[in-house]
Each structure stands twice: as structure tokens, then as C-alpha cells.
Amino acid sequence: MTITCKLLLQNYAQSWQEATVHPFLEECQLGTIQLQQFNTWLRQDYLFVLEFTRMVGRVLASAPPQHFDVILGGLAALKDELNWFLEKASERQLNFNIKKQPTCIEYCEYMQSLTDKPYAVQATTFWAIEFSYNQGWQLPGKMPAPYNEFAERWGNPDFTKYVKLLEQQADEVLKTAETDIQKQAEESFLRVTKLEHDFWQMAFNTV
């Protein structure tokens, strides 16, 4: 059976839930998250997005030309996002010149390791990362200030449409991928779900 993004979500529903439903997000929605915990996540997420931007550039380098438009749109959005992170750092008087926590290191190293993977694996991973953020910030529902700004950035309808385009591109190449490549894509999806869960949890490591 050919692997599709929808099938991955169905077959690994529990892993997906653990990646997108977490006390960190629930506490943001309740407005009870501690400032230090949120700032820990925010600073580590900036470091993650730096490496994620590099990963998306490598995905573009592997992609067929018909996929360029969507990926380039993602890169343009990441440019704005990185500047937005710097604005948040200024507002919160945070220093982003910090060391990565072990979970962030693991996630960044994993993204780097995808460089030599087939495009179908890269495309599936790209979709999974973006969709996990989309659902993570969307599922809790309306959030109070200041967390509503974060929920709207990743949970808004336009971002959801963008993620759907990434899903379509991943499905397109998975359809013709060899069985071993589909297996690699499946394994990468599961790795992302674990890393996403661990990344939310990292917010509570305020050291």
C-alpha cells in the first residue's frame, strides 16, 4: 500500500496527538503558562527556526521545478518569521545568543541529516514539521494575549492552506517512490512526532 500523509496520520494517531497536544499549549490557552517557561520555548524555537530555514533551502535544492513555488513561498515566510522572532526578543528583553538545549540540538541535527535523503523523505518531513506547528497552535482554540499572536501566526487559515499544499506535494512524490523510500518517509514522520513532543516539553526545562 502506498504511504500518504493522511495514512500516516491515521496509522499513528497516538503519536500525532502527542506531538500536537501538550500541557505547554494547553497552559498557553488557559493563560497559566509561566513567563520563564514560555520564554525558554521561544528562545529555543528561534534557534530551531534558523536550522529549519536551512533545511527548507536544502529541500528546495532537491525538489522538482513544479514544487518550487510553494517552497519558495515558505522560505519567504521564514524570512519574515525570523525578523518577527527578533521583534519578540526585543519586546521581552530576551537574548537569543544562547546555547541550544539537548532536545533542540537533537532536532537540528536530525534536520541536517536529511540532506542526502530522497526528496520524498524530505518533502514528507517538511510537511510533518509545518503541520505539527499548525495543529499544535490551532487545536487548543482561541488563546488570550499575548499567546494569541503566536496561535494566529501558525494556526491561521492561510498557514493551514499552505500546509495542505505541502501535503499534496509530499503525496505526489510518495506515490511513485520505491517501497524502501516510503518506509524512510514513514520513519521520519514518526521521528518528527517524537521530537515535536519533546520540544514542547523542553519549555519546562528552564535551566
Q: What is the CATH number of the domain that holds 138?
A: 1.20.910.10
Phi-psi region of 59 (alpha: psi -120 to 50; beta: other; left: phi over 0): alpha
**Segment (H or E) for 177:** none
User: pLDDT-derived band of residue 10, with 50, 70 and 90 as boundaries?
Assistant: very high
- pLDDT of 1 higher than 80: no
Nearest Cα residue to 129 out of 143, 114, 146 = 114
The pTM score is 0.97
| 186 occurs within a structural domain | yes
Give the domain extent around 155: 5-28+39-202
- pLDDT of 39 higher than 60: yes
User: pLDDT-derived band of residue 206, with 50, 70 and 90 as boundaries?
Assistant: low
| 71 occurs within a structural domain | yes
Question: What's the total number of domains in the chain?
Answer: 1
Q: Are 123 and 173 in contact (CB under 8 A)?
A: yes
pLDDT tens-place string over residues 136-154? 999 998 999 999 999 999 9
How far is the CA of 184 from the CAs of 8, 120, 131, 187, 188, in angstroms? 12, 9, 19, 5, 6
